[in-house]
């Protein structure tokens, strides 16, 4: 399972959801979907823009947790 720690990185950078959404060119609603673990996918271009805006690495935002389930 992939965990999105976007809210943690935003807090470290003291950046609001609205500010980040504006900087990366997505709606606050779509950013909220990503932050709240409801997204099924994220485009590399969006991940790139998030990393640039927050001055971080993808691994600072995304975390793999082995939940013992296999998606076959």
Are 27 and 38 within 8 A, CB to CB? no
Are 67 and 1 within 8 A, CB to CB? yes
Are 69 and 2 within 8 A, CB to CB? no
pTM: 0.87
Q: Could you tell me how far CA 61 lies from the centroid of its own chain?
A: 6
List of residues 6+ apart from 18 with CB closer than 8 A: 28
How does pLDDT run across 18-44, given as a tens digit for each residue? Answer: 999 999 999 999 999 999 999 999 999
How does pLDDT run across 47-72, given as a tens digit for each residue? Answer: 999 999 999 999 999 999 998 876 65
């Amino acid at each position: 399972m992939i965990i999105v720690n976007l809210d943690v990185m935003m807090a470290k950078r003291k950046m609001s959801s609205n500010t980040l959404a504006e900087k990366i060119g997505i709606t606050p609603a779509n950013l909220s979907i990503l932050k709240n673990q409801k997204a099924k996918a994220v485009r590399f271009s969006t991940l790139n823009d998030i990393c640039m805006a927050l001055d971080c690495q993808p691994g600072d935002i995304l975390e793999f947790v082995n939940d013992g389930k296999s998606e076959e």
